[in-house]
Amino acid sequence: MKIIGLTGGIGMGKSTVASLFRRRHVPVFDADATVRALQAPGGAALAPIAAAFPGVVRAGVLDRAALRAHVLADPAARRRLEAIMHRMVRAAETKFLAAARRRGARAVLLDIPLLFETGGEARVDLALTVSAPRAVQIARVLRRGLPHAEIERIIALQMPDAEKRRRADAVIATGLSRHHTVRRVRQLMATHVFRPAPPARRPRRFRQPFSRRRR
């Protein structure tokens, strides 16, 4: 089973590209969605978060904006939150991979914003990065209603886009038309998922002797 990793900065188009793979029947593991499920009411991450960040969980509900403010203001707080979340996200990823193997999936996609930061390169056969010009990235996240200053702070704490592009095996440009992105995904699928295995070389003993082959 081919394990494809997908990463990219905030608003670069990870979810959009992941859905293009999903549409081509590649099972997708969404790290952000896993984080959200773990932090939802009743989620396993709520108790450790409440203990590490007093006041952000009230009546069993996490105030995500308050937690985001902690994380953006203080690198130690971010490391604390990541230490809580990453172990749980990895456990969910392991379960996902086992289930996909059991189902006989030919390839899977791991959509992980912090793929490179968490050493994920070593766990994937192919690392993809989605990338768009910074102005496009900011305009997209502004449309979601996040204030400009906060977007800048999130981008500043992420690995620079140029570094992600350098470390990736392939880059998917998402700053051009959607059609361009769809074509690129189709091309990557053809090259890395559907390319037939090279024909096995026939064992030597079954080959015709030279003299007969020439005739």
Ligand X SMILES: Nc1ncnc2c1ncn2[C@@H]1O[C@H](COP(=O)(O)OP(=O)(O)OP(=O)(O)O)[C@@H](O)[C@H]1O
Phi and psi at residue 21, to the nearest 5° = -70, -40
Task: Give the interface segment with ligand COD, choosing from 96-104, 151-159, 175-183, 186-194 (CB under 6 A).
Answer: 151-159
178 binds, among ligand COD, ligand X, none (CB under 5 to 8 A by kind): ligand X
46 binds, among ligand X, ligand COD, none (CB under 5 to 8 A by kind): none
Chain positions 6 to 25 lying near ligand COD, rule: CB under 6 A, are 10
Binding map of ligand COD across residues 89-118, x = CB under 6 A, - = no contact: x----------------------xxx----
**Does residue 85 belong to the site contacting ligand COD (CB under 6 A)?**
yes
Q: In whole angstroms, give the CA distance from residue 57 to residue 61.
A: 5
Binding ligand COD by CB under 6 A: which of 24, 64, 180, 207?
Answer: 64
Task: Give the interface segment with ligand X, choosing from 10-18, 81-89, 101-109, 196-204 (CB under 6 A).
Answer: 10-18
Q: Is 62 exposed, middle or buried (0-12, 13-18, 19+ CB in 10 A)?
A: buried
H or E element in which residue 150 lies: helix 148-157
Q: What's the CA angle centered on 16, arms 14 and 21, to 5 degrees?
A: 90
181 binds, among ligand COD, ligand X, none (CB under 5 to 8 A by kind): ligand X
**Does residue 123 belong to the site contacting ligand COD (CB under 6 A)?**
no
Q: At what angle do helices 64-73 and 75-102 cross, to 10 degrees?
A: 120
H or E element in which residue 75 lies: helix 75-102
Q: In whole angstroms, give the CA distance from residue 2 to residue 109.
A: 9
* Positions that interact with ligand COD (CB under 6 A): 10, 31-32, 35, 64, 67-68, 71, 78, 81-82, 85, 89, 112-114, 154, 157-158
